[in-house]
């Protein structure tokens, strides 16, 4: 039987590339996104046997339930959830409007919880899997991305805990920590970290790691050799050295100005 994957944030960037990859490899893909026109167009492109448009907002539980039912039917089952929908606002913490901080928490953190809650019974029926898209900014609090990186640490914590909790239901959980990826999310923004590290990843590379995470046994997945090397070199460093490195990467001064 054709396996089913529900991908949030499927209209753009990493979610779109992941939808294309799973569809090309024979899965039936639920394209979940608040961009209704975007998922309709992608569903048309992938064809009715490969994809179904599931317009929804991950901050609205009822719309997630409707979207899951569009893919799986009532009391259906789900083989894989890719929790990928997200938003980004870049800049110094105090200069960012409160509404932007709230949206980051609402979509990236609460949206992930709402989607996991809604998908749980379907995943349990299939003894399926979850791949949560966190970020490299979940490794150390990232200046200019303070609230964003905190939401990604939330996603990481959620993944680590559910990996253990949901084992008893036969549901496997994994998460990804990609660094900057060339998608519309980062197209409009600049930061010291983006200038220093550059944008080295394409959405297709991340989709390929999501595929491997969905079929593998590991909990945490990094993307690209550059970042894996950087992590291997910096992970053993003491906290003070990591802080100095993050200050340099972000370009923030070490003294009062």
So which residues are the catalytic ones? 148
Nearest residue to 144 via CA among 201, 182, 195: 195
Looking at beta carbons only, is 105 or 124 nearer to ligand NAI? Answer: 105
- Measured CA distances, 174 to 36, 145, 219 (Å): 28, 23, 4
- CB of residue 5 to ligand NAI, shortest distance in Å: 15
- CB of residue 138 to ligand NAI, shortest distance in Å: 9
Q: Name the site residues for ligand NAI (rule: CB under 6 A).
A: 8-9, 11-15, 33-35, 57-59, 84-88, 107, 111, 133, 135, 178, 180-181, 183-186
- CB of residue 53 to ligand NAI, shortest distance in Å: 13
Contact 172, 213 (CB under 8 A): no
* Alpha helices, DSSP H, located in the chain: 13-24, 36-46, 61-72, 98-104, 111-126, 146-165, 184-187, 192-197, 203-215, 225-234, 239-250
- Measured CA distances, 242 to 91, 140, 142, 157 (Å): 21, 8, 11, 20
Token pair listed for 199:
């944008």
Looking at beta carbons only, is 125 or 226 nearer to ligand NAI? Answer: 226
Looking at beta carbons only, is 63 or 172 nearer to ligand NAI? Answer: 63
- CB of residue 84 to ligand NAI, shortest distance in Å: 5
Ramachandran quadrant class, 160 (left: phi over 0; alpha: psi -120 to 50; beta: rest): alpha
Looking at beta carbons only, is 8 or 159 nearer to ligand NAI? Answer: 8
């Amino acid at each position: 039987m054709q396996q089913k994957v529900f991908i949030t944030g499927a209209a753009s960037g990493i979610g779109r590339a992941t939808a294309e990859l799973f569809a090309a490899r024979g899965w039936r893909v639920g394209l979940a996104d608040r961009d209704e026109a975007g998922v309709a167009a992608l569903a048309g492109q992938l064809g009715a046997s490969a994809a179904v448009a599931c317009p929804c907002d991950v901050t609205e539980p009822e719309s997630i339930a409707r979207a899951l039912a569009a893919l799986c039917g009532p009391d259906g089952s789900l083989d894989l959830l890719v929790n990928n929908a997200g938003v980004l606002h870049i800049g110094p913490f105090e200069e960012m409007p409160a509404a932007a901080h709230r949206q980051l928490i609402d979509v990236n953190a609460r949206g992930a919880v709402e989607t996991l809650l809604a998908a749980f019974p379907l995943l349990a029926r299939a003894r399926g899997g979850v791949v949560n898209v966190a970020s490299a900014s979940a490794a150390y609090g990232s200046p200019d991305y303070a609230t964003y990186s905190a939401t990604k640490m939330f996603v990481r914590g959620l993944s680590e805990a559910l990996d253990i909790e949901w084992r008893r239901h036969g549901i496997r959980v994994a998460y990804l920590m990609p660094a900057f990826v060339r998608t519309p999310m980062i197209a409009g923004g600049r930061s010291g970290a983006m200038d220093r590290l550059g944008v080295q990843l394409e959405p297709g590379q991340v989709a390929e790691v999501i595929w491997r995470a969905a079929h593998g046994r590991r909990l945490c997945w990094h993307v690209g050799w550059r970042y894996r090397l950087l992590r291997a070199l910096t992970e053993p460093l003491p906290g003070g050295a990591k802080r100095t490195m993050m200050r340099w990467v972000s370009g923030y001064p070490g003294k009062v100005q």
